[in-house]
Amino acid sequence: MGSEGVKKPRILCLHGFRTSGHILKTQLHKWPQSVHDHLDLEFLDAPFPCQGKSDVEGIFDPPYYEWFQFNEEFTEYTNFDECVQYIEDYMIKHGPFDGLLGFSQGAVLSAALTGLQEKGEALTKVPRVKFIIIISGAKFKSSLITEKAYSSPITCPSLHFLGETDFLRPYGTQLLESCIEPMIIHHPKGHTIPRLDPESLKTTMSFIKRIKDVVENEQ
């Protein structure tokens, strides 16, 4: 059987706060074609129009969206349940998806959704999320979510990008503690999707091989 017979892992990609699916797709163009050739990426816009100024204004064109709203301490959330339902409805209609990729707010969401699904608290009507790719992620701080999402470790394979000067780095490091055997890529940049140097490309391709094996074994 040739390579055309091998199923590419299908990934639902969740963008950052006050950006869009199109913007995330553009940001991921930094990654070499050799990575994209092995993945089937689908980009979803968040359900809520941007309710304030976007940090990418002047860099990327609108429209901008947000997954949910939150207070300054990131301990209270508005529209979180509606957001989860919106994602599940999309996965039912357009799935199945093998994994999730998220950046920033989308990364926080991707990890939590996987934890919630493993505990039977969310995404109960769609197939199990088999892996996650977390870029500039963190954990939710609300006890209502943490008690469910991270009460036991997230068991699926996970790849985490941690930026040296990223303001979320300490929180992304905390998230590692809630994942079993996470693969980690450290990069010198801040809160961004980094280019892949030879070492990080090697790690990424190793993770892709791992998730392809998982996907093929579950067909």
Q: Who contacts 13 (Cβ-Cβ below 8 Å, separation ≥6)?
A: 21, 24, 25, 28, 41, 42, 43, 44, 100, 101, 102, 106
Q: Who contacts 52 (Cβ-Cβ below 8 Å, separation ≥6)?
A: 18
* Residue 152 to residue 19: CA distance in whole angstroms: 31
Read off φ and ψ for residue 171, nearest 5 degrees.
-80, -30
Closest CA to 31 of 45, 11, 46, 58: 11
How far is C-alpha 26 from the geometric centre of its chain's CA atoms?
Answer: 16
pLDDT digits (tens, 9 = 90+) for 89-118: 999 999 999 999 999 999 999 999 999 999
pLDDT digits (tens, 9 = 90+) for 128-180: 999 999 999 999 999 889 999 999 999 999 999 999 999 999 999 999 999 99
Are 138 and 106 in contact, with CB atoms under 8 Å apart? no
Fold of 7-217: Rossmann fold (3.40.50)
* Residue 156 to residue 210: CA distance in whole angstroms: 11
pLDDT digits (tens, 9 = 90+) for 25-74: 999 999 999 999 999 999 999 999 999 999 999 999 999 999 999 998 88
- Structural tokens at position 84: 């989860």
Given a cut of 60, is residue 3 above it in pLDDT?
no
pTM equals 0.95
**Single-letter amino acid, residue 156:** C
Given a cut of 80, is residue 4 above it in pLDDT?
no
Q: Who contacts 204 (Cβ-Cβ below 8 Å, separation ≥6)?
A: 31, 35, 159, 185, 196
